[in-house]
Structure 1
């Protein structure tokens, strides 16, 4: 064997051994190696924000919400969004995908991607600043790149934005207080009260209410509700104080957040609390002594997904690549055994039993465990 061949084999062994050692490095170490030591410039050559802008929610339990605990520093255990004080089913999914992106971006060390390249945007705060916005998904036009919240798949949204596969299935329903006096037609809603309370910038406002009416529910109030839906009453986000100042009451109250409308419901200011079932029951549980009953069923079949704006004119080059990479990893992680969907459920709901509908959905996405 020639000296040249011996030298080549020796060098190959050294490289293989080095690769084996590095393969056992901790996730934090690998992320640190992939991330630049200084914060990257937040604007690209065209003046656009070069960071990946992730939209999260303050008030959308148990899917995307603000917690009391914030470490402020990224860790591989929590993830970039949870370390900033956000949690929930959709936040968990986004965090796990982003963590994988930190260590497996195929562009390599020439264009590293790390926690400092992400900026979280609170969409509920944007809604407070822009109360005329009809749909929070519209913030994908300019303020955010990816929306990590329980956004329902609709035909209109799919036409305008990139969308992931479905990640959760639920339905719109309603709660009413247990042992509450049934409302009567003549005096409903009543001074300072609302017949229906819901969060304005959601599909509950039109799709949900129409589905409930189509089922035959609330037949006594049908004309009042339809009249309110046709007016501008449902288009304006209103505060609880505004409702309580109404001498004749309010038929439909589009509130800013579930936190606000759930408290009003438990305080008996709202008769029917409408929304995605897992969300409204989770918020009602936050209020001590609040006892309620569910409506007869769920009235829609809603599928949650993660939406993004891959606008190749706005997101040229690296950012468009990152959004595409996000979807690539997400699709891979949900389609196999020990799916990211199962892990997100366990992290959010613990040992709570899954509905048959949800179990069948998970099975259809990743097969048998």
Structure 2
């Protein structure tokens, strides 16, 4: 279903682009593109002052404003090409969270500062495709979980699960992990917590042991819903959360960064329980001039995804090589890249 919807959106986008393609650079009014990025979603979209460093250094308007990552680099390459092609385009960067990102695209409450294009690890879903311009897929991830090494023993007072709210981990990831047979000891508790109204709580209770001294009862929620991965990773490393659930690359990046001095030893489960196909999403603008620029952004992206004789490699393969140079792409990711670019991303 989703591939057919994406194909329809793509045809619609190119039809709109054809309508506006006759505008010359001289005719285009000055246009500000507002780009939404994340601070916490390394290695895809994050603030450079609180995340890993990649070589070679990045370039582009998002990198220059202090952001980096696989998705950020893809967006920067396209933005640079767009700005070179058309005069009068400027870029403003707005930091969003998992909770505010689609509201910023004009989707729903809570109202946030409006953005035109979202450059973060956002999974393709039917509702998101229905309500926004959607790019070709740019990455394939999967939801999994991490746990402490060694796993805490005894009567530790901690949340069983930690996850970032307003993500596909919440809507389907945890349910699929439960359905696989994982966490049998806690299955009933987790299922009940998933069905209950969700409250976001990034910070532990004030009592250091998290236990009410009057009755010895643990006051930690079964599921700790966090606003962002920074808060969630800190809770995990401080042993306030037993299982950290999320997209595998984000978990690995966050915990590896916090474990540089051996302060947070961890193990990541060897199975991914979902297929998370990332894409870039854009607001559907009412202004014809901005619509033409947004659609041209997606057109340039599609051109740079595909490999041909004039282009040495896909923008996706180049970004992977810079950001994930220490990791060989999985067989699933190789197949994903090959289906889009004709290249697996692996040097034979």
Instruction: Give the TM-score category using the shorter length.
Output: 0.7 to 0.9
What is the aligned partner in structure 2 of residue 194 from structure 1? 159
Conserved 8 A contact 1:243-1:249? no
Provide the C-alpha distance between the structure 2 equivalents of 1:92 and 1:181, rounded to a whole number of angstroms: 38
> Which 4+ residue blocks in structure 1 deviate beyond 4 angstroms?
242-246
- Which 5+ residue runs of structure 2 have no aligned equivalent? 1-24, 51-56, 107-112, 212-217
More RCO (CA 8 Å, sep 6+): 2
1:176 equivalent in alignment to 2:147:
yes
Question: What residue is the counterpart of 1:355 in the other structure?
Answer: 330
Note the C-alpha offset of 1:292.
1.3
Distance between the aligned counterparts of 1:200 and 1:226, measured in 2?
16
Q: Which one of 297, 308, 312 corresponds to residue 282 of structure 2?
A: 308
1:241 to 201, 204, 209: 204
Aligned to 2:175: 210
TM-score (norm 2): 0.78
CA–CA distance in structure 1, aligned partners of residues 317 and 269 of structure 2: 28
Q: Name the SS for the 2:61 alignment partner.
A: coil
Q: CA deviation at 1:165?
A: 1.0
CA distance in 2, matches of 1:182, 1:170: 31
- Which segments of 5 or more consecutive residues in structure 1 lack a partner in the other structure? 1-33, 42-49, 70-75, 106-111, 128-132
Distance 1:215 1:254 in 2: 22
What is the CA RMSD across the aligned residues, in angstroms?
Answer: 2.3
Q: 1:136–1:201: 8 Å Cα contact kept in structure 2?
A: no
Q: Distance in 2 between matches of 1:61 and 1:278?
A: 8
Equivalence for 1:20: none
TM-score (norm 1): 0.74
- The superposition leaves residues 8-54 of structure 1 with CA deviations (integer Å, 9 ceiling, x where unpaired) of xxxxxxxxxxxxxxxxxxxxxxxxxx89xxxx97xxxxxxxx52110
Q: CA 1:351/1:217 → structure 2, altered by over 3 Å: closer, same or farther?
A: closer
Equivalent residue runs for 1:284-323 within 5 Å? 284-287=255-258, 288-289=261-262, 290-311=264-285, 313=286, 316-323=287-294
Structure 2 CA distance, aligned partners of 1:54 and 1:181?
42
Do structure 1's residue 367 and structure 2's residue 330 form an aligned pair? no
- For residues 58 and 182 of structure 2, what CA distance do their matches in structure 1 show? 46
SS at match of 1:358: helix
The total of aligned residue pairs comes to 291
Q: CA 1:243–1:260 in structure 2 vs 1: closer, same or farther (change >3 Å)? A: farther
Cα distance in structure 1, aligned partners of 2:58 and 2:318: 13
1:345 partnered with 2:320:
yes
| Rounded Cα–Cα distance in structure 2 between residues aligned with 1:209 and 1:231 | 14
Residue in structure 2 matched with residue 65 of structure 1 by the alignment: 46
